[in-house]
Chains A and B, each alone.
Chain A
Amino acid sequence: MEYGNRNFLEFSDSFEGMQGVIQLEPNKNQGNPQVNNPAPAPSKTFLDPYKGYCEVDTEIVFQRLKKTLWPFDRRKFFENKGDLYGAFWVPTTLIFIMSVAGSFANKIASSGGYIFDPKDIVITASTVYFFIFAVPAVLYFVLFTGIDIGYYDIVSLYGYSYFAFWPAAIISVINFSLLRWVAFGTASVWSGLLVSKNYYNEVQNLDEWKKYATAVASFSGYAALTLIANFYLYE
């Protein structure tokens, strides 16, 4: 019998005293092996808004890294949108390089008496990540109010600017204090130039105190890194 879309079979067996109804499902794959199901519709995850900021290819990331090393170009750094890939992995690699170079430098310098201190990693990592998050936040919320620059664009640019510290970290393995200060100082100036050149036009229209505050905020991250490197990491 049919009821709606489904088939029901009544059965009754007066001998055993059973009766009931069995619902039949229509057999979809009659004798065919299961064919590929259509791909499930992509579910919306909480990452979707960030995917727009990660539309970069390997080529583009390399180009941006190269652009970081020459900050004197007056054109905008990003053609249209920043990318969070570089903003995260450049500082993370920097933390790794600094930890490796720091322990290496200490091992050479103290020749056997050096004990590996994992606190270095924690302090370096916390500092770098804190400044990556905080400096763009200050710039965006406090200083650039009213100017049309997105927070994630500032974060991307700031993250990429840490690329200048990679050579500084590697050079600082050499146990020469003045060299370390010069290396990290140059890297700070280089990175700061990159950030300021990019926002030069917008910053020009700000009030006086805001201009100074922007400069201070931008350089604070690099300054902190320099101080940690020289006083703490590479003993």
Chain B
Amino acid sequence: MSELKGNIPIDSPSNSQSIQGKIDLQSDSNSLNEPVIQTILHDLKRICYKLKCVMIPRLSNDEKSKELRDWDLWGPLILCLMLALTLSLSSDEYFIYSNDTGTLIFSIVFVVVWIGSAVVTINAQLLGGTVSFFHSVCLLGYCLFPLNIAALILAFIGDISVFINLVLVVLGLSWSTFSSIGFMAGLVPSTRKALAEYPVLLFYLFLAWLILMIF
């Protein structure tokens, strides 16, 4: 980033002052000039960074929510689409005589993820939480990542044993839930913590069950 620093001396009748300043010459609008690949890579790096922040448990809940304060819905969208595509494509090759199932599953996953996140957020707001709507939707979306990984893995090894499926899905479910439940609980008064945490659990539980049913 290039900047212009300067010092303007002023001689005024009362005293002698100077104005110091700094002008940043590279602003965000300059990204219009860079090649598309660079912008995409830049956004992808940001998404990966947020993903790491949310997923790795070493950050406390407050730090996590601070990292995600500049929310973006690209990450959740990518994760949601990946999950929906994985599930619908896997179900298509399973149910050969009903090719509608794939589309139905895709729509169910998509609708449940977005409307589910919205409902869980509105629930937290109704219970007295003061959180930006999109901030919370963003966090719930990013916490889909473990279930996403579980679905992707199961797409390849799902036929081996029901027990492996169960273990993988339960792992993904617990990781997702633990990542987001602390955030939710911090939003509402402490007497209502369980009321705010339960919908998060139900949300991920439903998606986990859907994954189990399809593989």
Interface residues of chain A, those whose CB is within 8 Å of chain B, are 9, 11, 22, 24, 42, 45, 47, 50-51, 54, 56-59, 61, 84-85, 88-89, 92-93, 96, 99-100, 103, 115-119, 121-122
* Contact residues in A for B91 (Cβ distance below 8 Å): 116
Q: Using A47-B122, A89-B198, A118-B101 as known contacts, say yes or no to A54 and B12 having CB atoms under 8 A apart.
A: no
**Is the pair B126, A84 in contact by a Cβ cutoff of 8 Å?**
yes
**Is the pair A100, B130 in contact by a Cβ cutoff of 8 Å?**
no
B51 part of interface (Cβ distance < 8 Å): no
| A50, B123: Cα distance in complex, Å | 11
**Is the pair B126, A85 in contact by a Cβ cutoff of 8 Å?**
yes
**Is the pair A54, B191 in contact by a Cβ cutoff of 8 Å?**
no
**Is the pair B127, A121 in contact by a Cβ cutoff of 8 Å?**
no
B205 part of interface (Cβ distance < 8 Å): yes
* Contact residues in A for B199 (Cβ distance below 8 Å): 89
**Is the pair A121, B10 in contact by a Cβ cutoff of 8 Å?**
no
**Is the pair A58, B108 in contact by a Cβ cutoff of 8 Å?**
no
Extra inter-chain contacts (12) besides given A47-B125, A54-B128, A122-B104, CB under 8 Å:
A11-B8, A47-B126, A58-B194, A59-B191, A89-B199, A96-B205, A96-B209, A115-B94, A115-B95, A116-B213, A118-B105, A121-B108
Smallest CB-CB A-B distances: 6 pairs: A57-B191, A54-B126, A58-B194, A116-B213, A118-B104, A118-B105
* Contact residues in B for A100 (Cβ distance below 8 Å): 209
| A24, B21: Cα distance in complex, Å | 12
Q: Convert B113-135 into 0s and 1s, putting 1 for each residue whose CB lies closer than 8 angstroms to a CB of A.
A: 00000000011011110100000
* Contact residues in B for A22 (Cβ distance below 8 Å): 8, 19
CB-based nearest B residue for A39: B130
Q: Using A47-B125, A96-B205 as known contacts, say yes or no to A61 and B104 having CB atoms under 8 A apart.
A: no
**Is the pair A51, B128 in contact by a Cβ cutoff of 8 Å?**
yes
* Contact residues in B for A119 (Cβ distance below 8 Å): 104
* Contact residues in B for A121 (Cβ distance below 8 Å): 108
* Contact residues in B for A11 (Cβ distance below 8 Å): 8, 10
| A100, B95: Cα distance in complex, Å | 19
* Contact residues in A for B98 (Cβ distance below 8 Å): 115
B47 part of interface (Cβ distance < 8 Å): no
Q: From B94, B95, B195, B206, give the contact of A56 (CB < 8 A).
A: B195
Task: Name 9 interchain pairs, CB-CB below 8 A, sorted by A.
Answer: A11-B10, A22-B8, A50-B126, A56-B195, A58-B192, A58-B194, A85-B126, A89-B202, A116-B214
Q: From B19, B94, B193, give the contact of A58 (CB < 8 A).
A: B193
* Residue of B12, B199, B213, B214 with highest tally of chain A CB at under 10 A: B213
Query: Smallest Cβ distance from B188 to chain A, in angstroms?
Result: 10
Q: From A58, A61, A96, give the contact of B206 (CB < 8 A).
A: A96
| A42, B129: Cα distance in complex, Å | 11
Query: Smallest Cβ distance from A85 to chain B, in angstroms?
Result: 6
| A76, B201: Cα distance in complex, Å | 31
**Is the pair A122, B213 in contact by a Cβ cutoff of 8 Å?**
no
**Is the pair A57, B104 in contact by a Cβ cutoff of 8 Å?**
no
CB-based nearest B residue for A115: B95
Query: Smallest Cβ distance from B200 to chain A, in angstroms?
Result: 12
Query: Smallest Cβ distance from B194 to chain A, in angstroms?
Result: 4
**Is the pair A96, B127 in contact by a Cβ cutoff of 8 Å?**
no
**Is the pair B108, A118 in contact by a Cβ cutoff of 8 Å?**
yes
| A56, B195: Cα distance in complex, Å | 9
Within 8 A of A (CB), among B88-108: 91, 94-95, 98, 101, 104-105, 108
| A116, B214: Cα distance in complex, Å | 7
